């Protein structure tokens, strides 16, 4: 009986380890995607001219990440809201960042 209980506990621990490894990979991907989103938002924010809508790819980690930048009017005159989304292969948003551009 004790051996059966120990066997069930061992199986449960092995399954838990597999789930933990899968979650670690997902978190790593989200971190890289967040870095790409911040990089692209900062590049647009530091531009001396008003940024425009754009899209592209950036390498981070061991893969290329697709990103898209949208621009909308900011809360004050002469400002623009920069929204950058990093998207996965299926088109889902993995990470996003928002910054405000000002020409002043």
Q: Mean pLDDT of residues grouped by 10 in the chain (104 residues)? A: 76 72 71 93 86 92 92 90 92 91 78
pLDDT for res 21: 65
What pLDDT score was predicted for residue 15? Answer: 76
pLDDT of residue 7: 77
pTM over cut 0.85: no
Structure tokens at 33: 């995607």
**Quick one: three-class SS letters along 53-101?**
CEEEEEEECCEEEEEEEEEEECCCCCEEEEEEEEECCCCCEEEEEEEEE
Q: At 63, list the tokens.
A: 């893969």
Domains of the chain (ranges plus CATH)?
Answer: 2-102 (3.30.1300.30)
Instruction: Decide: 84 and 67 in contact? Cβ < 8 Å.
Output: yes
Give residue 68's pLDDT.
95
- What sign for the dihedral angle of Cα 66, 41, 59, 88? negative
Q: What is d(CA 19, CA 45) in angstroms, rounded to the nearest whole number?
A: 39
User: Given this model, what pLDDT does residue 54 score?
Assistant: 92
* Neighbouring C-beta atoms of residue 11, cutoff 10 Å: 10
**Tell me, what's the pLDDT at 32?**
92
């Amino acid at each position: 009986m004790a051996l059966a209980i120990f066997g069930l506990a061992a199986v449960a621990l092995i399954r838990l380890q597999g789930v933990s490894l899968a979650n670690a990979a997902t978190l790593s991907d989200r971190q890289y995607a967040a870095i790409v989103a911040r990089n692209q938002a900062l590049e647009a924010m530091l531009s001396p001219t008003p940024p425009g809508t754009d899209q592209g790819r950036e390498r981070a980690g061991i893969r290329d990440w697709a990103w898209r930048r949208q621009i909308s009017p900011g809360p004050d005159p002469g400002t623009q809201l920069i929204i950058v989304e990093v998207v996965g292969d299926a088109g889902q948003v993995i990470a996003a960042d928002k910054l405000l551009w000002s020409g002043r």
